Amino acid sequence: MKEQLAKIKADALSAFERASDAAALDALRVKYLGKKGELTGVLKMMGKLSPEERPVMGQLANDVRAALEGALDACSEKLEAAALELRLKSEAVDVTIPGKPVSLGHRHPMYIALDEIKDIFIGMGFEVLEGPEVELAVYNFDKLNAGENHPSRDWSDTFYFDTNSRVMLRSQTSPMQVRAMETRPLPIRVIAPGRVYRKDEVDATHSPMFHQVEGLVIDKGVTMADLKGTLNTVVEQLYGAGTKTRFRPHHFPFTEPSCEMDVQCHKCGGVGCPTCKGEGWIELLGAGMVHPRVLEMAGIDSEVYTGWAFGIGLERTALRRFKIADMRLIFENDVRFLEQF
Ligand code: DAH
């Protein structure tokens, strides 16, 4: 039995030394020290020994076990250290290798124009609102005083979701006027930028999806002079001091009186050129005094409060701001085009 124990010890120690990884070492632990292992096997035969031999062999067996356990610990530490060493080597970072440049994008020209517009209005005390692109026709038309037979309700112009023409993709940001009036305390001073949708074919100046910025002011004693003064200030900040504007009468169902505002052509200074199609003026936005009926439908007393509103097309503003000839370039997102701004 003594020889058996010595052999187990020698075999085990040399096997531990040769184990290549933690799993192999663990298998060896089971083989030699496990419940069904070789050392246990020998111990089971202790019963056959004489009472004098038993404690001697017992001591010897314990010594072997202790030696094996010690060797296991040492080998396992060695393996761990080697594994760590290997990982450190494989994950080493060579700080002298030149980095890969990360190409940074930048803001889209239309959003540059939008940010400028927002900044101007925020500077004048306006708040910026956002509203739903999937809108109820009640907000897009009815509460804006566009009657049952208003042409813009037509299926050929508008994207409806249902056959009853109740839910639609908003065709203008003007429903945000109503949403603001219904939910916000007076006085109101807001702009609401966002996407709008119409059944238009794509060409140099049209897209079925485009952006508008709506503006609304409601307070006591607000007049057309406030409208003109504010919008003139905005235009001077957008296009430079001294930029001339003109207001032409127009019709919108939700304003009375209504107007369109033109800016003098930046290219020719008003003489007439291809940019302004010989007009000398370029149409910029629609505006007007909020129709009393619209105020009343939103629960605002039109005898006490008045207001003005405007709606401006963002793509067109960006085209003019950056002298871009074709609106499709705004949506194509060709990096070579976008990088110019
Ligand atoms: N919603 C109009 C359109 O899409 C633009 C507009 C005109 C908005 C006059 C207004 C306004 O707020 O007062 O053509």
Q: What is the pLDDT of residues 171-193, one digit of tens each?
A: 999 999 999 999 999 999 999 99
The pLDDT, as a whole number, for residue 292 is 98
Q: Which of 141, 170, 172, 190 to mutate to test the pocket of ligand 1 (most atoms within 8 A of CB)?
A: 172
Note the pLDDT tens digit of each residue in 96-142.
999 899 888 888 999 999 999 999 999 999 999 999 999 999 999 99
Residue 12 CB contacts under 8 Å (≥ 6 apart), including other chains? 28, 32, 38, 68, 71
How many angstroms separate the alpha carbon of residue 310 from the centre of ligand 1?
6
The pLDDT, as a whole number, for residue 125 is 97
- Pocket, ligand 1, Cβ cutoff 6 A: 172, 174, 214, 252, 255, 286-288, 309-311
**Rounded to a whole number, what is the largest CA-CA distance in the chain?**
127
- How confident is the model over 214-228, as a mean pLDDT? 98
Cα 297 to Cα 144: distance, rounded to the nearest angstrom:
9
How many angstroms separate the alpha carbon of residue 286 from the centre of ligand 1?
5
Share of the chain above pLDDT 90, in %: 55
Cα 54 to Cα 60: distance, rounded to the nearest angstrom:
10
φ, ψ dihedrals at 307, nearest 5°: -165, 165
Cα 211 to Cα 314: distance, rounded to the nearest angstrom:
5
The pLDDT, as a whole number, for residue 124 is 97
Q: Is the pLDDT of residue 286 over 80?
A: yes
- pLDDT bin (cut points 50, 70, 90) of residue 4 is confident
- How confident is the model over 278-287, as a mean pLDDT? 93
Contact indicator for 125, 189 with CB cutoff of 8 Å: yes
Q: Is the pLDDT of residue 324 over 90?
A: no
- How confident is the model over 222-239, as a mean pLDDT? 95
- How confident is the model over 300-322, as a mean pLDDT? 94
Note the pLDDT tens digit of each residue in 25-64.
888 888 888 888 887 887 788 888 888 888 888 888 888 8
Q: Is the pLDDT of residue 256 over 80?
A: yes
Cα 282 to Cα 261: distance, rounded to the nearest angstrom:
9
Cα 315 to Cα 109: distance, rounded to the nearest angstrom:
9
Task: Give the start-end residues of each E strand in the chain.
Answer: 127-128, 134-136, 167-169, 188-197, 209-219, 245-252, 255-264, 281-290, 306-313
The pLDDT, as a whole number, for residue 269 is 85
Nearest atom, ligand 1, residue 311 CA? 8
The pLDDT, as a whole number, for residue 111 is 94
- How confident is the model over 72-98, as a mean pLDDT? 88
- 245-252/127-128 β-pairing: unpaired
The pLDDT, as a whole number, for residue 24 is 85
The pLDDT, as a whole number, for residue 171 is 97
Residue identified by tokens 């993709």 is 169
Mean pLDDT of the chain, nearest integer: 91
Q: Which residues pair with 311 in a beta bridge?
A: 214, 286
CA 36, 38, 42, 45 torsion: positive or negative?
positive
- How confident is the model over 282-287, as a mean pLDDT? 94
